[in-house]
Amino acid sequence: MNIGTRIKNLFAGMWENTRAVSPIVATLVLVVVAITGAAAVGTIMGTFSSDVSEQSNTGELASASSTEILIAGSTTVQPVSELLAEAYMDEHQGVKITVQGGGSGAGISSVGLDIVDIGAASRNPKDPELEKYPNIVTHKIGGSAVVVIAGTGVTVVGDGDIDSGELNTAYEDNDPSAITGAAGNVSGVSTLYDRAEESGTEDTFRKFLDNKTINDGITGHTGNAGVLAAVQGDATSLGFVDFGFADGASDIQILGILDDGKLYPAAEVDADHLEDELKNEDGENYVTALTRPLNYITNGEPNSMEQAFITFAMSPGATTHFEECGYFAITQFA
């Protein structure tokens, strides 16, 4: 049994036992995986092994690992994964699906190391990841988009759009004063927020900024929820999150974008326009560079249990779960 399988079994037993180690700690392990790789995993999981051995015997671990699917990674994919898991378990008694966050990078690394069954990523694997984990297989289950949000203290008039060049300068230099709006219609931004961990959301936003480096001095927050909460709590701030987190959220404003001369007014940054863009990818309905896939990743071709769940996630019946999160199922734009 390789280290990945042993770790996966430990995770399964840990979550099966109600007195197990906190899931927050488990999520931290996934982050460490993305940063430090397999060597650190062995050290960290040695501690987990000691803790879990006091709570679960070998038979319990084997039983749990045979009936449980472990999913971890993108915090964008996490909400819909939780809904899909709940619906799937309702229909398949005896199957337990555990969902964790950690970021897209952690999801890809964890499945590549065979720590989890399914990695979640709100981007496609990068070339270095494909070289490091050549056996991983990507399964596109849906799509979404990144939007720019501001606190309620930011003054927005007219179309409420900001120029992509302003965002370039602001995030590269940590210069909130660069945000003035395409026609001077945005003012009062005093703070910028970023993501604290490697994520598909940040990767998509950074590519929209022509791969500019985001200034290290910009405060990062964990997950879409963390950035959203930061902007909600700071009236004169600006950040970026997945549309599903911003849609309907209180104490924020979704801003419009002016990119390469094409205006996407704030009023049109909505589900219908984003869905049209995901279908056509022509830049007519929203900035194409700010749309991205929602993926499940497996280490090689999925086994029968993993495939059954992925098939369920890609089925027409799963559409309502994506819509509940403000996302788009693969059946809506494939």
Is a pLDDT exceeding 80 seen at residue 14? Answer: no
Q: How confident is the model at residue 7 (pLDDT cuts 50, 70, 90)?
A: low
What are 73-86's pLDDT values in tens digits?
999 999 999 999 99
Q: What is the sign, positive or negative, of the torsion defined by CA atoms of 156, 159, 164, 165?
A: negative
If you ran DSSP here, which 8-state letter would residue 217 be given?
Answer: T
CA distance 88 to 96: 9
Across 226-245, average pLDDT: 96
CA distance 81 to 70: 11
CA distance 222 to 101: 10
- Give, for 100, the enclosing helix (H) or strand (E): strand 96-102
Specify the pLDDT at position 18. 37
Q: Mention every residue, 6+ apart, whose C-beta is less than 8 A from residue 322.
A: 80, 142, 328, 329, 332
Specify the pLDDT at position 60. 44
Largest Cα separation within the chain, whole Å, is: 67
Side chain identity at residue 201, one-letter code: T
Domains of the chain: which residue ranges? Answer: 3-143+294-333, 145-292
**Between β-strands 118-121 and 291-299, what pairing exists: parallel, antiparallel or unpaired?**
antiparallel
- Tokens 């062995």 sit on residue: 42
Is a pLDDT exceeding 70 seen at residue 32? Answer: no
Across 281-300, average pLDDT: 95
Q: Mention every residue, 6+ apart, whose C-beta is less than 8 A from residue 8.
A: 65, 70, 114, 115, 116, 117
Work out the number of other CB atoms within 10 angstroms of the CB of residue 177: 12
Nearest alpha-carbon partner for 88 in 308, 298, 302, 294: 308
Specify the pLDDT at position 109. 97
What percentage of the chain reaches a pLDDT higher than 70?
80
What are 180-198's pLDDT values in tens digits?
987 788 999 999 999 998 8
Query: Which span out of 47-56, 159-168, 294-303 was modeled with the highest average pLDDT?
Result: 294-303
Specify the pLDDT at position 20. 41
- Give, for 137, the enclosing helix (H) or strand (E): strand 136-151
Side chain identity at residue 268, one-letter code: E
Is a pLDDT exceeding 70 seen at residue 120? Answer: yes
Specify the pLDDT at position 309. 98
What are 196-214's pLDDT values in tens digits?
988 889 999 998 988 678 9
Q: Which position has the higher pLDDT, 162 or 119?
A: 119
Is a pLDDT exceeding 90 seen at residue 36? Answer: no
Angle (CA) 235 237 239, round 5°: 130
Is a pLDDT exceeding 90 seen at residue 61? Answer: no
Q: What's domain 3-143+294-333's architecture? A: 3-Layer(aba) Sandwich (3.40)
Across 320-327, average pLDDT: 93
Q: How confident is the model at residue 4 (pLDDT cuts 50, 70, 90)?
A: low
What percentage of the chain reaches a pLDDT higher than 90?
69
Mean confidence (pLDDT) of the chain:
84
Specify the pLDDT at position 161. 86
Across 233-240, average pLDDT: 98
Query: pTM of the full predicted structure?
Result: 0.74
CA distance 216 to 28: 21
DSSP character string of 260-292:
TTEEE-GGG-SHHHHHHHHHH-SSSSS-GGGEE
What are 96-116's pLDDT values in tens digits?
999 999 999 999 999 999 999
Query: Which span out of 55-59, 145-149, 206-210 was modeled with the highest average pLDDT?
Result: 145-149
Across 126-143, average pLDDT: 97
Nearest alpha-carbon partner for 289 in 279, 297, 276, 277: 277
Q: What's domain 145-292's architecture? A: 3-Layer(aba) Sandwich (3.40)
- Give, for 304, the enclosing helix (H) or strand (E): helix 304-313
Specify the pLDDT at position 132. 97
Specify the pLDDT at position 287. 94
CA distance 123 to 296: 10
